[in-house]
Structure 1
Amino acid sequence: MVGILLMTHAPLGSAFLQAAAHVFRAMPERLEAIDVIADQNTDQVHQLALEAVQRLNSGSGVLVLTDIMGGTPSNCCRQLGEPDQVAVIAGISLPMLLRALTYRHDTLDVVVEMALAGGQNGATRVDSRVRI
């Protein structure tokens, strides 16, 4: 099972954990969040991420989802392990996370592709004139 780490600006990661637990009616296994606070030491954040990746990796790899490219959380995701064991995607959304959780029993590459598809397909214009 692919582990999933949410590296976000506080309190987004914790909020995504709660949303996932709500949807799945329980906290999914091998899912953690690191909420980075303002002015937190980047070396400390990187170390927290390394430790989380080690905990979450059962041999299938870890997908790290961050909120925005270039922010401290995503910058601290560089060099978290072997490239075939850790993948990082910036731009987390709830559809992306739910898709990653749904397909996490597959390979890391498949989980990455499914998460990206969930993020892309989850962004849809909702128009009051269109009936669902």
Structure 2
Amino acid sequence: MAGILIVAHTPIASAMLDFVDHIYGSIPDKIQALDIPAHEDTKISAQRLQAAVDLVSESKQVLILTDILGATPANVAGKFALNDTDNQIMVITGLNLSMLLRAVSHRHEPLEQIVEKSLQGGMQGVVKIRTSAKMTIE
């Protein structure tokens, strides 16, 4: 089973993990959140990321979900994934709740499939809701 790390700006990662807890009734094994505070030294972020990977990498496969491309969490995760020779690590940016649910639901599959399912979930979860005169919000 692949490990899943949510790496995002504080408090997004923890909030996303709370959502998983809400949906599943508990946090499944090998899923962790790592909040990256504003202005944290990237060396410290990388060290904390290493510790988190160590906690979830039982199968040596880890999916890291980050909030936004080009920001510190994604940059730290991307560099880490390139330099980690002990694990197969894949990073996806643009985290949303649909993506996260897909990753958790498919975490028993091979890492490549988890990535594809997560990307599909993330894209399918972004839609425009049609509004009409009949639609009311209470």
TM-score bracket for this pair, using the shorter chain length? over 0.9
Identify if the C-alpha distance between structure 1 residues 114 and 76 changes in structure 2 by more than 3 Å, giving closer, same or farther.
same
Structure 1 residue aligned with 2:58: 58
DSSP 3-state at the match of 2:100: helix
Which residue of 1 is the match for residue 101 of structure 2?
A: 98
Equivalent residue of 2:80, what SS? coil
What are structure 1's unaligned runs of at least 5 residues?
Answer: none
Gaps of at least 5 residues in structure 2 are: none
State the 1:79 CA deviation.
2.7
- Let me know the Cα RMSD of the aligned residues: 1.7
Q: Which residue of 2 is the match for residue 49 of structure 1?
A: 49
Give me the whole-angstrom Cα distance separating, in 2, the residues matched to 1:70 and 1:87. Answer: 16
Read off the aligned partner of 1:32 and give its amino acid letter. Q
Aligned to 2:71: 71
Instruction: Tell me the SS of whatever aligns to 2:28.
Output: coil
- Counterpart Cα distance in 2 of 1:112 and 1:45: 23
If the length of structure 1 is used for normalisation, what is the TM-score?
0.93
The number of residue pairs the alignment matches comes to: 131
**Sequence identity percentage:** 36
Could you tell me how far 1:8 is from its partner in structure 2?
Answer: 0.2
Structure 1 consecutive aligned stretches of length 4 or more whose deviation exceeds 3 Å: none
Aligned to 1:107: 110
